[in-house]
Amino acid sequence: MTEAAQTLTIVLAQMTQAVGDLAANADAMRTVRARHSDADLILYPELQLIGYPPEDLVLKPALADRAAILLAELAADTADGGPAMLVGSVERDGDALYNIIALLDGGRIVATRRKHELPNYGTFDEKRVFTPGPLPDIVEWRAIRLGLPICEDGWLPKVSRHLADQGAELLISVNGSPFEIDKDERRLSEVFAGRVTETGLPLIFLNRVGGQDELVFDGCSFVLNRDGATAHRLKDWDEEERVTRWTKGADGWVCETGAITEWEAHPADIYSAMIVSLRDYVTRNRFPGVVLGLSGGIDSAICAAIAADALGPDRVWCVMMPSRFTSQASLDDAAVCAELIGCKLDTISIVPAVEAFDTMLAGSFADVEVDITEENVQSRIRGVTLMALSNKFGPMLLTTGNKSEMSVGYATIYGDMAGGYNPLKDAYKMTVFAVAKWRNENVPRLSRNPVTPVMPAAIITKPPSAELRPDQKDEDSLPPYADLDRMLHMLVEEEASVDDVVARHGFDRDAVVRIERLLMLAEYKRRQAPPGVKLSTRNFGRDRRYPITHGFRTG
């Protein structure tokens, strides 16, 4: 930057994180800074020093104390005359804890600003752990007036307008904005384009990448000039350090145009979300790989493909566990699927265990009709078998149930729900079909297993079945998935009533009443399900927190 501050070089560090590993996060920021010694300012995502979301971990006083020490050390690093840093962290003031952004330059903390708008909806519950700061003042740095809205501060108009009224010349918004379908374009074209229009100021939106439990961050950072034109678009899903160059003219600061990266369309974006979330979950929790049941059905087949894409096929162990109801077609399809993916496949028959349980329970079940109980016993035997392999050899057990099944309780607690993570937890059945068809014809950009196809076409086209009784089909007990998913989307994502669903789609009212009843009754199962990546606006877990015990129905 020149003495008169007419030019400026800002680096956007779109990075991943390690929640709670403050030293690793600080070192990663130092590494980025070392690569850009000629820059004026380096930007890092929201709460990058401690990781986001920290949840109740941040309530430990020792975390805030350590963050303060490391932030001071990072500030001291800037005494070398190199670039300044904008670092997200926390700040404790008495009993209050704040989400802050700190500007570090010249060996000291030049300024801090506290987040004003604390989101308290969907996946966010920042009001639980943080105190809202006041409307933030601008930061004057090297003769430039910066406005620093932190994430939600930029999603609503008030803070940006306040900063503009104070004379801000440039808005820099650091974020921890998790992936949702269509959210990348909404951030750019609706939310932050709105801030530019309202204030007449150029704006930098910086987001992180990587998985954190149920959340996955897609990056998709960008720069907008004051006329609303996009000057830069960073990659989705990948870390990137983008150098942006600015010049101050008569009308204010203008960013020189750089690469406008194309972001993935559907369903490639969903598939990438599944890859990144599973990869980071398995790797950061130090599992050597995953094990899963491969049934010859579409859900387990696409989960095996996702796992191989995320981790490499050598870290994926599939197990076929046939019963006397398993068709030869399923056995053949599972074998071909494992061969196409290139992963290990073992076959362990559950017939001896089923016979043993039949013998054990014969006295108690005498003169009682065979029903779903015997089906669930099979599922639980498979769960015990897979958990035994996981315990003995170390791989995490991957579950494979989709959102349609989890919505209506079409899953066995302590059976096929047993495991550590589920890539399909927020994917409706019709989404599973779309993703499987896409993956069979395409190699994902992030894949560590660049092969195609990954499953025989018969897996995608045959009627879904749990194969727990003779000639069983899912549609024996559920509506066709195309209809079921439309019902569920309204009941779950839109919180619609039975009458709303009937009015929009014309379904039989009794059918919708039944699905709503199943949805409510299955809440206790979902509470005991493993985590899975959030894809929609209303996932089971952080987004939708229903009581298990309640009597409300709309139909």
205 and 283 housed in the same domain: no
Indicate which CATH number applies to the domain containing 239: 3.60.110.10
Domain final residue pick, 432, 447, 471: 471
Same domain, 313 and 290: yes
Q: Which residue has the tokens 């996955």?
A: 216
Classify strands 203-206 and 222-224 as parallel, antiparallel or unpaired: antiparallel
Of 255, 288, 317, the position where a domain reaches its end is 255
Rounded Cα gap, residues 430 and 530, in angstroms: 21
CA dist 361 to 195, 321, 358, 368, 370, Å?
66, 22, 5, 11, 12
Per the structure, how many domains does the chain have?
2
Selecting among 91, 117, 126, 151, the annotated active-site residue is: 151
Query: 3-state DSSP: the chain helix, strand, coil percent, rounded to 5?
Result: 40, 20, 40
16/121 same-domain check: yes
By the 8 A CB rule, do 78 and 26 touch? no
List the catalytic residue out of 91, 115, 264, 318.
Answer: 115
Check if the beta carbon of residue 522 is closer than 8 Å to that of residue 489: no
What is the pLDDT at residue 538? 87
Tokens of 443: 């190699």
| Eight-class DSSP state of 409 | T
Same domain, 243 and 376: no
* Per-residue pLDDT tens listing for the chain (555 residues): 445 559 999 999 999 999 999 999 999 999 999 999 999 999 999 999 999 999 999 999 999 999 999 999 999 999 999 999 999 999 999 999 999 999 999 999 999 999 999 988 878 889 899 999 999 999 999 999 999 999 999 999 999 999 999 999 999 999 999 999 999 999 999 999 999 999 999 999 999 999 999 999 999 999 999 999 999 999 999 999 999 999 999 889 999 999 999 999 999 999 999 999 999 999 999 999 999 999 999 999 999 999 999 999 999 999 999 999 888 999 999 999 999 999 999 999 999 999 999 999 999 999 899 888 988 999 999 999 999 999 999 999 999 999 999 999 999 999 999 999 999 999 999 999 999 999 999 999 999 999 999 999 999 998 876 666 676 677 777 899 999 999 999 999 999 999 999 999 999 999 999 999 999 999 999 999 999 999 998 888 888 889 888 888 998
Q: Does residue 41 sit in the same domain as residue 100? A: yes
Active site residue 475: no
Six-digit token string for 376: 């669930």
Is 553 a domain residue? no
Query: How far is the C-alpha of 169 from the C-alpha of 226, rounded, in Å?
Result: 10
Residue 285: φ, ψ to 5° = -95, 10
Asked whether residue 132 is assigned to any structural domain, the reply reads: yes
Same domain, 194 and 96: yes
pTM of this prediction exceeds 0.85 = yes
Residues 191 and 240 in one domain: yes
Domain that holds residue 293: 268-471
Nearest to 117 by CA among 53, 160, 88: 160
Task: Answer yes or no: 240 catalytic.
Answer: no
* Dihedrals phi, psi of 110, to nearest 5 degrees: -70, -40
Regarding whether 204 and 90 lie in a shared domain, the answer is yes
Cβ–Cβ under 8 Å, residues 99 and 150: yes
The backbone region for 296, taken as left when phi is positive above 0, alpha when psi lies in -120 to 50, beta otherwise, is left
Q: What are phi and psi of 184, to 5 degrees?
A: -60, -45
Please provide residue 40's backbone torsions phi and psi, each rounded to the nearest 5 degrees.
-90, -40
Residues whose CB is less than 8 angstroms from the CB of residue 104 and which lie 6 or more positions away in sequence, other chains included = 71, 74, 75, 77, 78, 84, 85, 86, 87, 110
Contacts (Cβ under 8 Å, ≥6 apart) of 97: 58, 59, 64, 90, 91, 129, 130, 131
- Final residue in a domain of this structure, among 436, 471, 506: 471
Asked whether residue 102 is assigned to any structural domain, the reply reads: yes
> 398 and 277 share a domain?
yes
Residue 519 lies in a domain: no
Q: At which residue do the structure tokens 């600080």 appear?
A: 26
Cα dist from 62 to 50, 57, 91, 393, 433, whole Å: 12, 10, 12, 36, 47
pLDDT attached to residue 163:
98
Asked, for residue 536, whether it belongs to a domain, the answer is: no
**Exposed, middle or buried by CB within 10 Å (0-12, 13-18, 19+), for 183?**
middle
Q: Are 142 and 224 part of one and the same domain?
A: yes
Answer whether residue 480 is part of any domain: no
Strand-strand pairing, 290-293 and 396-397: parallel
Backbone angles phi, psi at 217, to 5 degrees: -110, 130
Q: Is 337 among the catalytic positions?
A: no
Is residue 196, in this structure, part of any structural domain at all? Answer: yes
pLDDT of residue 2: 43
Q: Is 74 helix (H, G, I), strand (E, B) or coil?
A: helix
What span, in angstroms and rounded, lies between the C-alpha atoms of 451 and 174? 37
Residue 506 CB coordination number (10 Å):
8
One domain for residues 244 and 275:
no
Task: Check: CB of residue 115 under 8 Å from CB of residue 99.
Answer: yes
Same domain, 310 and 389: yes
d(CA 173, CA 155): 9
Q: How many CB atoms lie within 10 A of CB 553?
A: 12
Q: Give just the sign of the alpha carbon dihedral 362, 364, 368, 372.
A: negative
CATH of the domain at 403: 3.40.50.620
